[in-house]
């Protein structure tokens, strides 16, 4: 992968990259420190990308490494499933959590690369996306295609660390990854397809631990994730609705219009009911349901305070969904540990007889 990146950064022999001066991305620079003062240390994702060698930066931005919110939203359903599949009284498998974390970074990067390859002409017409590397001409379509191959190859290596059932299940999601960018051209429900894609880890995490899916748990969990994606990505889509109308891109934001909050409330209710069903089918305990209640409160606050006509507020609400996912993950872990306590309480009366 390192050799591939070095070749891409130098540029393929004889390959010229088109430059679009009007849409060119501004140079990534760190803010200057006052004279005589050391530059403050920063470990944010955007700062790490800025600190990378210049020729490498367009590829890191193509992967959206400077915007990790999407990676978290892809990864968190995996953590839910891995944690639910753990034995009672046990913490989730840390090796699997790390493996799925790496897979989430790679597959989110691959998905963004595919999306930008499909959408480069649209992206040039939208202020928020005009500086993306392909739209701005920082890298060519051919270079992005080669880079995509490298990401998918590494993601395949991660997938091959799992059992055969999970390998087949993971490979089945690739068609959704490729199809999603096309959906915004043909339907007002591309967010539904994104939900089906982004929450595949809710199925894969369980099968990676248990060897196959328990559909009584995995399907409600998957449905909850899909409903969650419909909430946060509809909010996200409201950022670009004016540009989307002009260029002909469809979204649930344009479908729901002023009824958005009612739809988001319905999706949130469906998510909470699905989480309760998944919890009941795997004998979850008090901490889990407390976390589900906290998730419901967070979503209610998001929807109540959302201003769909302010892009900055839409981004803030979208990014806050990482907290939703983390709350549920913590609840699942604590709920699983609580199961051990329940088992001990059940055994004590028998031992005292």
Query: Would you say residue 30 lies in a domain?
Result: no
Interatomic CA distance for residues 345 and 353, integer angstroms: 14
Q: Give tens-digit pLDDT for 87-116.
A: 999 999 999 999 999 999 999 999 999 999
Query: Would you say residue 168 lies in a domain?
Result: yes
Q: Which domain holds residue 178?
A: 55-341
| Residue 241 in this model has a pLDDT that exceeds 60 | yes
| Residue 353 in this model has a pLDDT that exceeds 70 | no
What average pLDDT does the segment 37-52 reach? Answer: 69
What average pLDDT does the segment 296-318 reach? Answer: 97
Residue 26: its pLDDT value, please?
42
Distances, alpha carbon 159 to alpha carbons 148, 152, 269, 332, in Å: 16, 10, 33, 24
What average pLDDT does the segment 288-294 reach? Answer: 98
Query: Would you say residue 50 lies in a domain?
Result: no
Q: Give tens-digit pLDDT for 181-200.
A: 899 999 999 999 999 999 99
More confident of the two residues 290 and 23: 290
Query: Would you say residue 72 lies in a domain?
Result: yes
Query: Would you say residue 352 lies in a domain?
Result: no
Interatomic CA distance for residues 205 and 75, integer angstroms: 10
Residue 31: its pLDDT value, please?
44
| Residue 351 in this model has a pLDDT that exceeds 80 | no
| CATH at 122 | 1.10.357.140
Distances, alpha carbon 318 to alpha carbons 234, 263, 304, in Å: 9, 16, 14
Nearest Cα to 60, choosing from 121, 7, 113, 135?
113
Query: Would you say residue 194 lies in a domain?
Result: yes
| Residue 337 in this model has a pLDDT that exceeds 50 | yes
Q: Give tens-digit pLDDT for 246-285.
A: 888 999 999 999 999 999 999 999 999 999 999 999 999 9
Residue 186: its pLDDT value, please?
94
How far the first Cα of the chain sits from its last, in Å, is 64
Query: Would you say residue 304 lies in a domain?
Result: yes
Interatomic CA distance for residues 93 and 81, integer angstroms: 11
* Lowest mean pLDDT across 149-158, 256-265, 300-309, 339-348: 339-348
Q: Transcribe 225-293 into DSSP letters.
A: HHHHHHHHHHHHHGGGHHHHHHHT---HHHHHGGGHHHHHHHHHHHHHHHHHHHHHHTT--HHHHHHHH
Residue 344's pLDDT band (cuts 50, 70, 90): low
Contact 180, 197 (CB under 8 A): yes
- Return the structure tokens found at 90: 């046990």
Distances, alpha carbon 129 to alpha carbons 20, 61, 65, 345, in Å: 14, 12, 15, 57
Distances, alpha carbon 328 to alpha carbons 79, 225, 298, 335, in Å: 9, 11, 11, 10
Residue 200: its pLDDT value, please?
97
Residue 119's pLDDT band (cuts 50, 70, 90): confident
Residue 44: its pLDDT value, please?
81
| Residue 23 in this model has a pLDDT that exceeds 70 | no
Query: Would you say residue 8 lies in a domain?
Result: no
Total number of domains in the chain:
1
| Residue 302 in this model has a pLDDT that exceeds 70 | yes
> Model-level pTM?
0.84
**What are the backbone dihedrals phi and psi of residue 43, each rounded to the nearest 5 degrees, phi first?**
-120, 25
Residue 52: its pLDDT value, please?
86
Radius of gyration of the chain, Cα coordinates, nearest whole angstrom: 22
- The rounded mean pLDDT for the chain is 87
More confident of the two residues 64 and 351: 64
Q: List the beta strands (DSSP E) in 6-47.
A: none
Contact 117, 134 (CB under 8 A): yes
What percent of the chain has pLDDT above 90? 69
């Amino acid at each position: 992968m390192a050799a591939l990146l070095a070749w891409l950064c130098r540029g393929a022999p004889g390959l010229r990259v088109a430059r679009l001066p009007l849409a060119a991305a501004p140079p990534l620079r760190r803010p200057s420190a006052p004279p005589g003062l050391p530059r403050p240390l920063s470990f944010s994702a955007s700062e790490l990308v800025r600190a990378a060698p210049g020729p490498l930066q367009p590829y890191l931005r193509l992967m959206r490494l400077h915007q990790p919110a999407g990676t978290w939203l892809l990864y968190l359903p995996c953590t839910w499933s891995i944690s639910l599949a753990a034995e009672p009284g046990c913490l989730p498998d840390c090796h699997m959590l790390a493996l799925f974390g790496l897979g989430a970074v790679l597959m989110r990067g691959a998905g963004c690369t595919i999306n930008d390859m499909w959408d480069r002409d649209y992206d040039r017409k939208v202020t928020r996306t005009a500086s993306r590397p392909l739209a701005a001409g920082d890298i060519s379509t051919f270079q992005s295609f080669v880079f995509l191959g490298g990401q998918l190859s590494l993601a395949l290596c991660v997938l091959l660390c799992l059992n055969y059932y999970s390998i087949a299940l993971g490979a089945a999601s690739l068609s959704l990854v490729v199809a999603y960018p096309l959906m915004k051209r043909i339907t007002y429900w591309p967010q539904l397809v994104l939900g089906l894609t982004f929450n595949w880890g809710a199925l894969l995490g369980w099968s990676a631990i248990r060897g196959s899916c328990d559909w009584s748990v995995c399907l409600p969990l998957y449905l909850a994730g899909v409903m969650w994606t419909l909430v946060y990505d509809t909010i996200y889509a409201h950022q670009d609705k004016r540009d989307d109308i002009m260029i002909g891109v469809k979204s649930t934001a344009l479908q729901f219009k002023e009824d958005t909050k009612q739809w988001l409330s319905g999706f949130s209710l469906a998510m909470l009911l699905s989480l309760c069903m998944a919890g009941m089918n795997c004998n979850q305990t008090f901490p889990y349901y407390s976390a589900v209640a906290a998730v419901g409160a967070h979503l209610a606050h998001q929807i109540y305070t959302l201003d769909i006509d302010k892009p900055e507020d839409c981004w803030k609400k979208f990014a806050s969904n990482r907290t939703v996912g983390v709350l549920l993950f913590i609840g699942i872990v604590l709920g699983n540990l609580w199961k051990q306590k329940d088992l001990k309480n059940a055994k004590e009366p028998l031992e005292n007889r």
